[in-house]
Structure formats: structure tokens, C-alpha cells
Chains A and B, each alone.
Chain A
Amino acid sequence: MGVSLVLMVVSFVVVKAAPVAQEEPVRMNFLMAAIVGIMYYLALSPWFANLGFAVLYRPLVAGTLVGLVMGRLGEGIAIGANINVLYLGWISAGGSLPGDPGLAGYLGTALALGGGLSVDAALALAAPLGLLGSLTWWLRMSLCSIIPHWADKFAEEGDIKAVARSNYIYSQPFLFVIYAVPVALAAWLGSAAIGAALGWIAQHAIWIMSGLFAASGMLAALGIALNLKFLLRGNVWPYFFIGFLITSMMGGGVNLLVMAIIGACVAFIHVLFTEGVAGTQLAGAAEARESPGLLTRQDVFQSWLRWLFFSHACYNWERMQGLGFAHSMTPIIEKLYKTKEDISAALKRHLVFFNTQPDIGGVIHGAVIAMEEERAAGADISDDAINSVKTGLMGPMAGIGDTIQQGIVIPIALAIGMSIATGGAVGTATTGNILGPLFFLVVVAAFVWGVGWLLWWQGYLQGRTAVTNILKGGMLNRVIVGAGVLGNFIMGALVVQFVSLSTPLAFMIGGTTFQLQAVLDSFMPNLLPLLLVLLLWWLLAKKNASPTTIMVVVILVGVLGSYPLWPGINAETGEAIKVGLFG
């Protein structure tokens, strides 16, 4: 008998309960607030082998950690997943950072728990907070521009250790102060304020609570529409509707991991039919260059470790990852060059402007290490030759790396993680499953560490031709086309799972009551979420509307639209009452 694989499909029915007015808040003490602030700093710090920005910075994980600290793990996970929907398609490319998922995640979860906001309304509170992050990012990038000038002086003296320290130690007090301190204070002082405001709302204007809930559901639609702006194009758009319809037919209760596997199979078939059979040439098949043998695998690995941890430790406007690059080269320089002049020249050579995607871009470092080794062995390799490899390749590798890491791996792993965390109901789950954030962590760590080292090492073995060898054979294009199919398919499923929008409106016509929602459902279940997502996509993609403006409008429409002004029916007693547009 073969192995039988049993996939557990969690099925459930989304019950639209009236949103809970106010949860029992967690009393936010100073210690908790301080830990929340420190965690936000850590997410932007270099201490987690490149998993800070890729993993800890994401609201799903932020919510989990804040929930753990505040003794509400389940709620924290659910809140994190709720907030993360808005940032599913969030991409920071080339040091530009629109909005701040980490700030929305850490501070948003802390304030929601500390103020007693119900889980499903947290996004409406966190979304505006995310906008403030641009300020601290600006400050960070500007402040850290000072440090490379100190490093220049240390390089002049040939002081390898001091150049390394400038990157990973001297930069950190700046970051700690601008990240940890404001967030800790905001979490500490803000919780009470939010709690008081919610208390007043619960007493005097309970409809605002429904409004925040409706706004959160609509913001989830914005999160998906932002993704669709990138995905819903070309000849792969039907997969969005297929994903939506399958999930909708199954009542929303599909395991997204199963959906992702179906989507991957469909993507494979699509690529096979449109791009033909895969070429036989695989990455790494090319022959290695002649190495002079001055460096060991251990030296190359030590260099990679420094990059893995500290590539963005002192990220700044002036040289971006320049200091990080020099730091990563310190073990190589130490091994290859012995005189003060040679060491100083090598340090200065690598302290210049550099910026690429840290995982995929590692192939450049590998190639540069190979050139340094050959140069130290006496080959005629000029500073210009080394520089042109760096400056020529950093852009293209960033383009590919951002597309794959931020555009494919992170969003898809996040979507699945968020679905696992909330049993497929991001908008309405009140407690979360730790397996969701863990799934996300494992997938991203495997990519960042596995692919990162693989490319670094191939770069060293093959030299700069590693880049063309890896890109040849069309493998990259197949991955990108396939990811477009999978992405559309998943987004379709997410419309059902993540966007919660319904209306309590009802009409009396000739003595018969028509509940609008029931009428809509008889046409097609989840019609409102689908129409809202498509409307927002149209505004973003075709009308070039700004996401920030849409966010503000959506919150206002959600909250104000929930004012009980319209005719409805009390479901229990059948009497006519006033209701808001959404509920």
C-alpha cells in the first residue's frame, strides 16, 4: 500500500456576528510598551540574518509577537493578519518605502489590544499609522549618510575592524533612538487614549464600531487591488476569476495551501503551453573558472555571513549599501592583502555607492570576490574592471531580485500564512493559529538563506558569467510568467477569504421584505467584495488614483456609511429599523 496523504481541509461557515463593541483591553504597562518599541527596532535592525525586513517587519509576524508580549497570542495573530492584508503587495524598491507595514503591525496591534479594539476593526486604526513610517525612514536614510564618511577615514588608515564597526555598530544607536523610542511612547500613551475613545463610542455612537469593521473589510479590498494592479494584465487575468469562483463556490472554506498547489499546477500547464518545454541548460551547469586558490570556501562563507546580516545595517541615501558591501569584503581583504597600502586601497574601492537586492544580488559579491582573488594572485585587474562589474550588475540583479523576492515569494507565502492563521477568514477571525506565521517564516528563511548562499557561491565559482549562465535558458521568464498565473489565482481566492463586506439593507415592496444581501447572494455569492476589489483596481490601474487617497476615502465611506440612516429589518423581531449601508 502506498503512502496516502491526507490533506485536512478546514471548512467552516463565516458567521457574520454583529461586531463586538469593545474587547476587554490589556492594561498596557511601560515594560510592554518598551518591548513593543524594541521589537519594531529589531524588525529594522540587522540582527536576524536578513529575516528582520523580510519576516519580522510584516504585520502578520508583528501582530504575533506583540500578542505574545501582551498575553493575547491568538488575538495578536488575528490582528496581524487583518492588518497585513493592506500590505500584501507592498514593495520597497531601491530604498523607497511607501507606507510602513512594520509600524502598522507593531504599533497598530499594540494599540488595538491596549485600547480594546475588536480584532476585525484593527486595520482601520493601523492603516493611517502606517503612513507615519515614511518620516522615520527619511530620517534614517539621512542620518546614516554621515557614517560612511567616518568609514572613509578608517579606510584611509587601513583599519579593517573599524570599517566593519562603522557599518554594524555605529549605525545602531541612531536606529534605536528613531525607531524604538517613539513607538514605545506611542504604544504606552496611545493605548489609554484609544481605550477612552472606544469607551465613548460604545456609550454614545455604537455605529462607529460597525463602521470601523466595515472600513477594515474594505481596506482589505484595497490591499488586494494594489496587488492586482501588478497582476491583472496580459493574458493571465482569467485565472483571477477562476480562483475567485472556485473559492466562492466552496463557501470560502478552502485551505489556501491547497488552492496554491492547484494554482501552481495550473501555472505549470500555462507556462508549458505558452512558453514551450523547458530548456535543458540549468543554473550552475557552466564550468567553473580557474581559481588561484588563495581563498577557501570558509572565507567566502564568512564574507556571505557578514552580508547576510549587515547588508542594510547602515542603509543611507548617499551610498545605500556601500558600507555594507565593504563590510562583507573585510574577511576577503584581510586574507588577500597584507600591506597597509593594499588594505586601504581595497577598503576604499568597496566603500562606494552600491545598491542591489540582497539575496539575488549576492552573485555580484561572489564574482567580485573572484576578481579580488585573481588580482591578489597577480592578474591584471584594474579598479575600473571591478567597479564596472559592481555598477553594471547591481541594477539588473535588483530588478530580478525585487520581482522574485518582494513580488512573488513574500506575497504568496504571506497570503498562505495569513489564511492558515485565520482559518481562511482574515476579516472575521477573532483568534489566530501560530502555524500561519511559522509557515511564512520557514518559506522566507529557506529562500533568503538557501538561494542567497547558492548564488553567492556560484558567483565566486564562475565569476561574472555566472549572471548570464543563470539567466540563460529562459528559466527566469518561466518563473515570472508562472508566478503571474499563480498570483492571479490566489488573489481571486483572497477576495472571498479576506474581504468582508455585506449590507443589512432591506426593502418592503408590496408587503414582501427583500433583504438586499440575500438578493445579491442569489445572483452570485461574494458579489459585493468582488465588485469593490474591481472598482478599486480600476481606480488604481486605469485612473492612476493614489493609494493613500483611496485609503482615506475608504475609511470615511466605511465609517460614515455605517450611520443608521437607511431602512432595514430587525432579523429577530421582523420590525422595521434604521440601519447603516454596511454591516
Chain B
Amino acid sequence: MNAIEELGLVRIDDRLIHGQVIAVWCKHQRFTRIVVVDDGVAADSFMQEVLSLAAPPDLQVDVLSIEEGINSLGESAPDRGTTMVLLKSPLAAKRLYDGGLKYSALNVGGIGSGPGRKHIFKNISASEEEIAILRYLMDKGVEITLLTVPGERSKAFSDLAGKS
């Protein structure tokens, strides 16, 4: 039996493509493709242009809606091992997972503070609802790690969820 190639990284980061992603992650691990999966950005041609112009030339950037993501990032997608999937929120991660795009690990890299969100770790905030979603994914067996960039201090979501 052929093992399915895991996605290189599935990351929740509401700033999508930025310094940590380009200047650190992409130097630490080899990526050939960044796929932003977000309904809002998928409908915004200006932001799509900005995101593709912002990435270095050797990285392919695609912007997909959640539905497109579920359909085209599956087991038969090319170069899964060097693909980084960027999502804006835990909700997007759940919709992908429930839609059939399974992943075994999820990186929570950055969620800005906002109304209803409380600070949980470093530059990561989350609302009660979002924490519940992460817990749901954890119970499904997804290994969730809070980590801004490789080499930094990280925290397993299971440690955090155990306490609250």
C-alpha cells in the first residue's frame, strides 16, 4: 500500500503570507507551493495579485475557496509534501477537515486579537468558539501545535486544552 503524501504544512495564520512565512518557514523547510484557502481572498482579485507578487519567484501561490481547496488538495494533488496550506481561522480548518481534506497535523501560527478573542499564547488569540473547534479537531486525532516559526518555543494545544 502506498502511503499518502502528507501536506507539507497546514497553518492557521490570519496574516497569511508574511515575514515569518517567507523569511523563516520557507527557508527552514522546502516548499514549492503556497495555497491560501479562504473564501474572502478567493473573491478579491486585488488581494490575489498582492499575494502572488509578494512571494519569492520560486514559490507558486494559489488562492482557493474552501470548496476548491477540498476538491483540489486531496490525495492526488501534486507536490503535497512541499505544499503549505494557509488558512485564516480555525473555522476554515474545520470546514476543510469536515469536507474531506484530512490532515494529521495543524500549525497555529498567528491569530490576532479582536472582539471576543482572548490571548492564549504569544501572538495567538482565540475565541471560546475557536478553542472549541480546535478541541474538536484534536479529538479527531489532529496534532495541533502552537508555533510561530521553527526554532521558537512551541506549545501543544493538548497541554492548553487540558487546563481550561
Contacts and interface: CB of A to CB of B under 8 A. Distances in A.
A394 B18 contact: yes
Q: Chain A: interface secondary structure? A: helix
B54 A471 contact: yes
22 contacts: A93-B24, A94-B110, A95-B123, A96-B24, A98-B151, A141-B122, A318-B113, A319-B112, A352-B114, A355-B112, A395-B18, A396-B51, A398-B19, A399-B23, A402-B19, A403-B56, A406-B23, A464-B46, A467-B53, A471-B50, A480-B56, A480-B57
Nearest to A394: B15
Nearest to A355: B15
A407 B21 CA distance: 13
Given A91-B23, A98-B151, A318-B119, 19 more contacts: A93-B18, A93-B149, A96-B149, A234-B58, A317-B123, A353-B112, A392-B44, A393-B50, A394-B18, A395-B15, A395-B18, A399-B17, A399-B54, A401-B19, A402-B19, A403-B23, A468-B46, A468-B49, A547-B151
B50 A467 contact: yes
Interface residues of B, number: 40
Interface string B1-34: 0000000000001111111111110011000000
Interface in B36-61: 41, 44, 46-47, 49-51, 53-58
Contacts of A570: none
B113 A353 contact: yes
Contacts of A476: 53
A395 B54 CA distance: 9
A471 to B, nearest CB: 4
Contacts of A93: 18-20, 23-24, 149
Interface in A45-103: 91, 93-96, 98
Contacts of A96: 20, 24, 122, 148-149, 152
Of the candidates A93, A94, A392, A467, the one having the most CB atoms from chain B within 10 angstroms of its own CB is A94
Interface string A309-348: 0000000011110000000000000000000000000000
A94 B20 contact: yes
A94 B54 CA distance: 16
Interface string A396-437: 111111110011000000000000000000000000000000
Contacts of B57: 477, 480-481
A145 B27 CA distance: 30
A230 B47 contact: no
Contacts of B27: 229-230
B19 A357 contact: yes
A485 to B, nearest CB: 13
Contacts of A153: none
A391 interface: yes
B125 interface: yes
Contact of B50 (A229, A320, A392, A481): A392
Contacts of B44: 392
Contacts of A403: 19, 22-23, 56
Contact of B123 (A94, A464, A547): A94
A403 B113 CA distance: 26
Contact of B16 (A229, A318, A395, A472): A395
Contacts of B47: 392
A393 B13 CA distance: 14
B149 A94 contact: yes
A145 B124 CA distance: 13
A480 B125 CA distance: 33
A512 interface: no
A203 interface: no
A399 B113 contact: no
Name which of B19, B46, B58, B149 has the most chain A CB atoms within 10 A of its CB: B19
A54 to B, nearest CB: 15
Given A320-B123, A352-B114, A94 B53 contact: no
Contacts of A468: 46, 49-50, 53
A317 B119 contact: yes
Contacts of A471: 50, 53-54
The 6 closest A-B pairs by CB, nearest first: A396-B54, A353-B112, A395-B18, A395-B15, A402-B19, A93-B19
A480 B27 CA distance: 14
A317 B49 CA distance: 29
Interface in A464-511: 464-465, 467-468, 471-472, 476-477, 480-481
A396 B18 contact: yes
